[in-house]
Chains A and B, each alone.
Chain A
Amino acid sequence: MDLFLQTLLNGLLIGGVIATFTIGFQLAFGVLHVIDFAVGGWVVLGGYLGYYMGAGLGVDGFLAIPVAFMLFGAIGYLIGPILYNVRNSRTARPELMALALTFGLFTLLRGGMLTAWGFNTHSVPTVLSGESLAVGPLTVPLIRVAAAVFAIAIAGGLFLFLYRTRYGLAIRATAENRQNAALMGVNIRRLSATVYGLYAGITAMAGVLMGAIFSVNPEVGLRYTLFAFFVAVLAGLGSVGGALVAALLLGVIEAFVATYVGSSYSLLAIFGTLFLVLLVSPRGILRHGL
């Protein structure tokens, strides 16, 4: 029973962090209509930033979080318009071209990081690393709690931004119907750049947290891309609220398979579930609007 509760808790805490970057992923899809393969690349880049700031400059990993947001937010802001142009170009199949572009970007990031930093794994040093708290029979690693709190803060901030500001209103309107939004005076192109920047920044922040909890190497990016896809498929592409539920579910599934079956089966279980969900309900289980 203790093991069960411990697994559940671990799963929920990790699910919270997964939720942060999948919410951004869903937002980017809602506005740009592009499935971003590069999502795992941003996570890993964030993790490396945290590692280099910690190991190179001696700065605590948590301080890397705002830096990651600004740096990768700016980079995303520059990439956004390119993606927008490809998605709305006059080629025969713009959606496939955009998909191929992010796929290429992901491959480029992965190859570049492998070339520059090699296959070694690193972890982001923080003040809370290795500390844990005993609650009854359960041990709670503090770094996971802190990460979950950060994740909730980031998600909460994003929801406030989306539902309490005029700019958030414009984003939601664009996701719902871009033509009408454009007629109401929203500059879709510039908005797309902002949203992609926002998404890249949030994803990199989640990457710092992931790097502190687990560790980071260029090959784990694929895993996070899979997580984002899993959540997106379960929640329905573009659904932000559903992503929250689906991410927690994913965290729990992964924790339970890793504990009770074996961690080498966890990817098999996730891919298998993803495949089955797609077959049973091709447009997502938890379908909701933005």
Chain B
Amino acid sequence: MKPRWAVFLLLIAAIVVLALLPMLVNNYWLRIATGALMWAGLACSWNMLGGYAGYINFGHSAFFGLGAYVTALLMGDRLAWPFFATLPAGIVVTALFAIIIGAPTLRLRGAYFAIATWAFAEVLIQFASVMDFTGGIGGIGLPPFLDERFFYFAMFGAAALTYLITWALFERSRFGLKVKALRDHEPAAEAIGINTSLVKLQTFVLSAVTASVFGAIFAYWVTFINPKSVFGGDITDQMVVMVLLGGLGSLWGPALGGVALFVVNRIIWMYWGDTAFYIAILGAAIVLVVLFLPNGIAGMFSRRVAKSGAVLDKAVGNLVGGGPGRPS
């Protein structure tokens, strides 16, 4: 039981540090921490479908953007809803979209699914660019609210909730086993009586809804959005890289990858500004990870531990793999 305690204490310590962070650092670093939490959460939300169910979604920014646009439109001058009232509205809208889009597209396998989701996200970005009520390419503004602590805690809460849901549903329940079973062999999973269509759709909706919540907070945080800034393919690119870097289908991988990549992003931004060079680095990172680190940081960690057979193996196994049958 010792390693479990160690992990538990580590987790508590991390939560305490994160909760006290606003008192320890200035607003500049707080903004960076807020962004890092957002990306860690978004990566986790992508990982639900990509990592656990094995369906690569190249249009995940669609749901991030939907959440952002619903909040922006509802908080605008005409309706002027309070922020927290827009969250459930965004969740409902995104869930509806996810069901309508997911039900037919989830029948597609592998590359076809990737293309279909990518096409869907591009339809939304084009749609938001040509419509009047979304403000076209110019985008829309939200009432400014400049309390960095509020946004930090909002992102912190959303990220913590996302990881808690992922842990409870994908690592600690029958639902998670069903999802992993269909990832590993879909016909076999169907043969033992799993309603794969339903399970896939549930995962898809869950992953979409969590992304939309981050989108809503993001829109309120930056107070101005346009189609490219919330629907743009670069957002999906980043999520994919973060998950691949951290480790596909692991609980803590996306958090590691998300924070690591976001810090790199900020460092590049500090030295060179908003540069296209970052896109090249993203691409190179994907290529290198695929070639040399196909299991991500989490995979590297657990493999090394498995070799030495140390106590940490079980701890990491509990956290990362969650599988019972690991030989000790």
Contacts and interface: CB of A to CB of B under 8 A. Distances in A.
B276 A278 contact: no
A108 B127 contact: no
Contacts, number: 129
Contact of A95 (B110, B119, B123, B275): B110
Interface stretch (A2-10, A63-71, A144-152, A268-276): A268-276
Interface string B234-276: 0001001100100010000000000000000000000000011
Nearest to B236: A103
Nearest to A229: B115
A264 interface: yes
Contacts of A96: 54, 56, 110
B130 interface: yes
Interface string A112-125: 10110000000000
Contacts of A218: 276
Given A268-B123, A272-B123, A111 B283 contact: yes
A100 B280 contact: no
A35 B123 contact: no
B123 A105 contact: no
A23 interface: no
> Contact residue range for chain B?
35 or more
B305 interface: no
Nearest to B277: A115
B126 A271 contact: yes
B123 A222 contact: no
Contacts of B110: 95-96, 99
Interface in B277-295: 277-287, 289-291, 294-295
B172 interface: no
A82 interface: yes
A109 interface: yes
Contacts of A105: 283, 287
A117 to B, nearest CB: 10
A93 B116 contact: no
B287 A282 contact: no
Contacts of B248: 93
B112 A233 contact: yes
B286 A100 contact: yes
Contact of B290 (A86, A229, A271, A275): A86
A156 interface: no
A237 B130 contact: no
Interface in B51-105: 54, 56, 58, 104-105
29 contacts: A86-B290, A89-B294, A96-B110, A97-B294, A99-B56, A100-B286, A101-B291, A103-B237, A104-B283, A104-B285, A104-B286, A105-B283, A107-B283, A107-B286, A108-B284, A108-B287, A110-B283, A111-B280, A111-B283, A218-B276, A222-B233, A226-B122, A267-B122, A267-B126, A271-B122, A271-B126, A275-B119, A278-B119, A282-B107
Interface of A: 35, 82, 86, 89, 91, 93, 95-97, 99-101, 103-112, 114-115, 218, 222, 226, 229, 233, 237, 264-265, 267-268, 271-272, 274-275, 278-279, 282-283
